[in-house]
Chain A
Amino acid sequence: MAPVSLHSVRKAYGEVQILHGIDVDIADGEFIVLVGPSGCGKSTLLRMIAGLETITKGDIRIGDRVVNDLEPKDRDIAMVFQNYALYPHMTVATNMGFSLEHRGASKTEIAERVKWAADILDLSHLLDRFPRQLSGGQRQRVAMGRAIVRNPQVFLFDEPLSNLDAKLRVLMRGEIKSLHHRLGVTTVYVTHDQIEAMTMADRIVVMNAGRVEQIGAPLELYDRPSNLFVAGFIGSPAMNILGGTIDGGQFKAAGVTLPLPAGVTATGAASYGIRPEHFQLSPDGLPATVSLVEPMGSETQVTMTLGEHVITGVFRERVSARPGETIHILPDLAAVHLFDAATGQRIN
């Protein structure tokens, strides 16, 4: 185990800047998730930590060593790739023991470590098979086995679940998390799926266009997004964001005036954010015209028009309204997020 520290890390391909100075400190044993839309630079950053991409500027430290110029093999990391990257011509056992073999481990040690990893990942009965004879989930576990067998200081995961179906993804999410609890190895995990990020991470690094937008615990990001991007990216269904102005203790948006939390002193153009579950049905609420009702069983998702804005609400109650009818809703003022219209930064 070792902490990982990224200091002003930049990446450019010629004139094109991919990463614009990333600063992240990852604690020893922490499970950190890099999340962001496609092309935001999260995989590039992971590959730079692995040593598969060069660093244009800045420093990457693993433990107390600056690893900028070290080969991947000298960084004491293990990586799980999106397509697993299992060697097709080797059995599961050979795949798992391959790195140890090339580091001069004895056959006995290799066999012991492979057995240990196979027992943990329930792979013991598959050791003599070739990757082509395995299911997607089994291949995923072999890829993890190959990573843990060497007992590295850092695990790197590059969207490892994106090739699995939804059910298996949920299962493997749990397995990876429990593996982290068991081994306690520092883990950097890349995904574009914010549900994966929320459910697995100790802390999440939200990235956008080569920059870090916010770093924090999952619920911290959910409850207090520091800017409009994070507010819109984290959470499903996404936060409702209405453009308008703060004026006289109220928020005036197109066709509707919304109440503000107490203590808001800012004025002028702003964005008003509220998550779908932070509306409640109330006869005293604001009128909204229903356009779609989606009963989920445990909750009901309603798409509706508030003023001139299309918003989404999620209610624990059963909603019997039909499209075209009006319901009345009240925002939970304690859960209202206000963002500066010009900078997108949080102002409450």
Chain B
Amino acid sequence: MRTDLSPRLRVALYGLMCVLLIPFVFPTWWMITSSVKPISDIFAFPPDLWPRRFDFSTYQRVFELQPFARQYWNSAYIAAIVTAGTMVVSSMAGYAFARIKFPFSNAIFMVVLLGLLIPSEVTIVPLFQIFLGWGMINTHWPLILVPIFGAPSVFATFVMRQFFIALPVELEEAARVDGLGRFKIFWTIALPLAKPALGAVAIFTFLHSWNLYLEPIVFLSSTQMFTLPQALTQFTDAYGGAMWNIQLAAATMTAIPVLLVFIVAQKQFVEGLAHTGLKG
């Protein structure tokens, strides 16, 4: 974006932005640098911005102490399925709520939205009992099904509905005149145009699934089945004390996909939310 700011004002603004950046960047910086420090250097005061000694063996130890590769795979495939599933469910549900006239559609949509007001802590026990009855405890099914049909998908449905409502209705009418039925209109016209919103839904669904913490600790009990956020809590010594440098090495590796996704797709994310009238 081009602006007409004077050089002095521009320098001042950049300086202010650098200062404001510190609380956001420092924790990440501290996490990455501490992951290669000996544990005794981590809590040195004043803290070292650059490690005095580098110890990369922490990254090796992550894989020795836990089945970390397996846990990484668990998180990755669950997030991928949840993302794909949520995109399918939310785009179809959002389109239906935006475009198809059916009795009580607005009332039903309000009821669906109310699901967002219920904290997951409230529903976790009933959900545990349901999945226990279905024999799905210590499997990944709850971590896949709950987000696809639960609150994250409701939010995604809301985002998609807002996007589809904003699409000119004449496009669909032109498609009807051109010979398309309802599903083909959705598939060939509405969905390709909804790419920005779908992108935003994909990003925040992936991040939500990747960072999911409460559900894994309730539904999973074996380390082979753990996902990354749950695995991060397991890097402790025999007395339950945290092995900080190893834990931070695992946390750094856990954060990499999240950072990559956001760096690559942040424009899409912001555009998608802007199209829906929401602010990020």
Instruction: Give the interface of A toward B (CB within 8 A).
Output: 50-52, 71-73, 77-79, 81-83, 85-89, 98-99, 102-103, 146
Contacts and interface: CB of A to CB of B under 8 A. Distances in A.
A74 B171 CA distance: 18
Contacts of A99: 177-179
A79 B173 CA distance: 9
Contact of B178 (A52, A88, A98): A98
Closest 6 A-B residue pairs measured CB to CB?
A: A99-B178, A73-B179, A85-B170, A85-B174, A102-B179, A72-B177
Contacts of A86: 174
B11 interface: no
B177 A78 contact: yes
Contact of A52 (B171, B176, B189): B176
Nearest to B172: A85
B144 to A, nearest CB: 31
B193 A81 contact: no
B184 interface: yes
Interface string B178-195: 111000100001001100
Contacts of B174: 79, 81, 85-87, 146
30 contacts: A51-B176, A52-B173, A52-B176, A52-B177, A71-B176, A72-B173, A72-B176, A72-B177, A73-B179, A77-B177, A78-B177, A79-B173, A79-B174, A79-B177, A81-B170, A81-B173, A85-B173, A85-B174, A87-B171, A87-B174, A87-B189, A89-B192, A89-B193, A99-B177, A99-B178, A99-B179, A102-B178, A102-B179, A102-B184, A146-B174
A83 B168 contact: yes
Nearest to B184: A102
B150 to A, nearest CB: 31
Q: Give the size category of B's interface with A.
A: 10 to 19
A78 B179 CA distance: 10
Contact of A73 (B170, B171, B178): B178
A89 B189 CA distance: 8
Contacts of A146: 174, 178
Interface of B: 168, 170-171, 173-180, 184, 189, 192-193
B189 A103 contact: no
Nearest to B191: A89
A83 B170 contact: yes
Nearest to B180: A102
A292 B189 CA distance: 55
A71 B189 CA distance: 18
Given A72-B173, A78-B177, A81-B174, 5 more contacts: A72-B177, A79-B174, A81-B170, A85-B170, A102-B179
A73 B184 contact: no
Contacts of B178: 73, 98-99, 102, 146
B52 to A, nearest CB: 55
Nearest to A143: B174
Given A85-B168, A87-B189, A88-B193, A73 B173 contact: no
B90 to A, nearest CB: 20
A198 B195 CA distance: 44
B183 to A, nearest CB: 12
A78 to B, nearest CB: 7
Contacts of A87: 171, 174-175, 189
Nearest to B193: A89
Contacts of A50: 173, 177
A163 to B, nearest CB: 12
Contact of B179 (A52, A79, A103): A103
